[in-house]
Amino acid sequence: MVKLTLRENESVQEAVRRFRKLVERSGIKKEMRRREFYEKPSEINRRIRLRAERRSKHLRAKAKD
């Protein structure tokens, strides 16, 4: 949960800007986008597997250098 306390002499625009940054950094926005639509377990596993393959491919390419 993100908490924001208003500072002295802080305008509403500044507070909203700080709130947006806090939400972005906490990962809430990313989590909301991920949960926006139902994803089948097989699709989740496929996404995880493809990500791991890309990561290992990248690491192997770096090791060759």
22 three-state secondary structure: helix
Asked if 27 and 1 touch (Cβ cutoff 8 Å), the reply is no
- Beta strands in 1-65, from DSSP E residues, in sequence order: none
Asked if 2 and 28 touch (Cβ cutoff 8 Å), the reply is yes
pTM value is 0.57
59: in domain: yes
Q: Which domain holds residue 20?
A: 12-64
1: confidence class by pLDDT, cuts 50, 70, 90: confident
4: in domain: no
- Total tally of structural domains belonging to the chain: 1
27: in domain: yes
pLDDT value of position 35: 93
64: confidence class by pLDDT, cuts 50, 70, 90: confident
pLDDT value of position 7: 92
Distance CA 22, CA 26 (A): 6
Structure confidence by residue, pLDDT tens digits, 29-57: 999 999 999 999 999 999 999 999 999 99
CB atoms within 10 A of CB 19: 13
- Look at the chain and count its residues: 65
